[in-house]
Amino acid sequence: MEKIELKDAFAEFKNQKNIDRPTMMGVLEDVFRTQITKTYGSADNFDIIINIDKGDCEIYWNREVVEEVEDPNTQIALSELEDDDYEIGETFAKKIELKDFGRRGILNIRQNLQGRIMDIEKANLYNKYVGKIGEIFTGEVYQTWAKEVLILDEDGNELRLPKSEQIPGEHFKKNDTVRAIIKSVEMKNNTTPYIVLSRVTPDFLEKLFEQEVPEIYDGLITIKKVVRVPGERAKVAVESYDERIDPIGACIGVKGSRIIGIVRELRNENIDVLQWTNNTQLLIQRALSPAKISSIILGGEEDKIKVYMLPDEVKKGIGKGGCNIRLAGMLVGKEIEVWRELPEIDDDDAEEDVLLSEFSNEIEGWIIEKLQGIGCDTAKSVLALSAADIAKRADLEDETVEEILEILRSEFEDEE
């Protein structure tokens, strides 16, 4: 029975993938030497012959033939030998059977062997996926929980897609096929490697473009930078090293044939493809398109960029929930503020609106700056928005917004 169990352990070890023969031999010998040391006190004078193919091993205990034994582990008395052919000083080799280790010893060998197998499996899995960080992985959903999704690869290894790495609004069910980028691989407390996938990183979008656009894969077009608000909008800045290739047209494809698959993969995330330039002002203009910019002031307070637009262009420049202006800022690496540039008007019309700066005695300066930051620098531009929209975009308390609106309304009521 012990031998059969040991053969099973051998077979289990032998069938593991990516384990070379020298490693197998070394691990098996080490396991047996460890048990020999526990049983006999030392393994220095033992020979271990392992036959992986047959799934067994031979162990020989070598002792010097002496007249009087001083160390039972390394010596044996001539009088103990039944074979008369031995002489003093020669080496006597006795074959050790597995049963000599006892059932507990055999169990220890099996458990140690299985433990070493698991360690090798973990190391191989870790090395396999560490080398694939940043690559796209496609797998099948095995189980879903509130905080993460469990996905299996073709070998049954577990990968995790946390809720924080899922596009907002995504819902997966068992057997769904999922594409994501391998974000990280961690070893925690000697457990199985914790492999994290992500669908929200800019790298995932970049890899999708590499798959869909041959010119990017071949290096004719380079993606210079990708910024995203997952599930809402993304901006991809590209550059071509071949003047004959239109980088934007190549990424979008004929009638959007190339980009449509990426958009669907990202739950209809709006993707703006623009041509990269080292000219910051030109890059901002391209990033905020189709909004038309009147002027741009670089630097200034806290190194912010001020962009001036006519009132009709502000909404297009800022985008839904401020998403467009935020992505443009991420693209150039600085915060961008949108300021309304009032068109030239007659004196009679000028009295119809009032700059927010005129309310500095009634509205605190930091609140005025918040409102100006969302493109509202006149009283009527604020009153044109709903209270909820102002609170969300300017990050103000509802009570504060109501007070502001009351002050601004009273200005026009007094005029009337």
Confidence at residue 189, expressed as pLDDT on a 0 to 100 scale: 74
pLDDT at 1: 39
Reported as a single tens digit per residue, the pLDDT across 218-267 is 999 999 999 999 999 999 999 998 888 999 999 999 999 999 999 999 99
What CATH class is the domain 2-128? alpha beta
Residue 164, SS3 per DSSP:
helix
Give the model's pLDDT for residue 345: 45
Same CATH fold, 133-200 and 2-128? no
Half-sphere exposure of 144 (CA within 13 A, CB side): 14
The separation between CA 260 and the C-alpha centre of its own chain, rounded to angstroms, equals 24
CA distance 193 to 155: 14
The confidence score (pLDDT) of residue 132 equals 95
What's the confidence (pLDDT) of residue 16?
Answer: 55
For position 343, what pLDDT does the model report? 56
CATH number attached to the domain at 278-341 = 3.30.300.20
Residue 364 CB neighbours (<10 A): 12
pLDDT at 349: 47
**CATH class of the domain whose range is 201-276:** alpha beta
Q: Are 269 and 231 in contact (CB under 8 A)?
A: yes
**Residues 376/361, Cβ–Cβ less than 8 Å:** no
Q: What is the pLDDT of residue 391?
A: 85
pLDDT of residue 390: 87
Q: CATH code for 133-200?
A: 2.40.50.140
Q: Long-range contact list for 350-359, CB < 8 A, 24+ apart?
A: 351/415, 352/380, 353/378, 353/379, 353/380, 353/381, 354/378, 354/379, 354/380, 354/411, 355/379, 356/382, 359/407, 359/408, 359/411
What's the pTM? 0.68
**How confident is the model over 161-194, as pLDDT tens digits?**
999 999 999 999 999 999 999 999 998 777 789 9
pLDDT of residue 411: 80
Q: How many helices (H) and strands (E) does the chain have?
A: 15, 15
Q: What pLDDT does residue 9 have?
A: 58
Beta bridge partners of 239: 222
Q: Where are the domains of the chain?
A: 2-128, 133-200, 201-276, 278-341, 347-415
Cβ neighbours around 279 below 10 Å, total: 10
Locate all alpha helices (DSSP H) within 131-222, ordered by sequence.
Answer: 202-212, 214-217
- Taking only the tens of pLDDT, the chain with its 416 residues reads 355 455 565 666 556 555 667 777 788 889 999 999 999 888 999 999 887 666 678 899 999 999 898 999 999 998 888 777 888 999 999 998 888 888 898 888 888 888 887 888 888 899 999 999 999 999 999 999 999 999 999 888 999 999 999 999 999 999 999 999 999 999 877 778 999 999 999 999 999 999 999 999 999 999 999 999 999 999 999 999 888 899 999 999 999 999 999 999 999 999 999 999 999 899 999 999 889 888 888 865 567 888 888 888 888 888 888 899 999 999 998 888 888 876 554 444 445 678 888 888 888 888 888 887 777 878 888 888 888 888 887 888 999 999 999 988 888 775 54
What is the pLDDT, as a whole number, of residue 197?
97
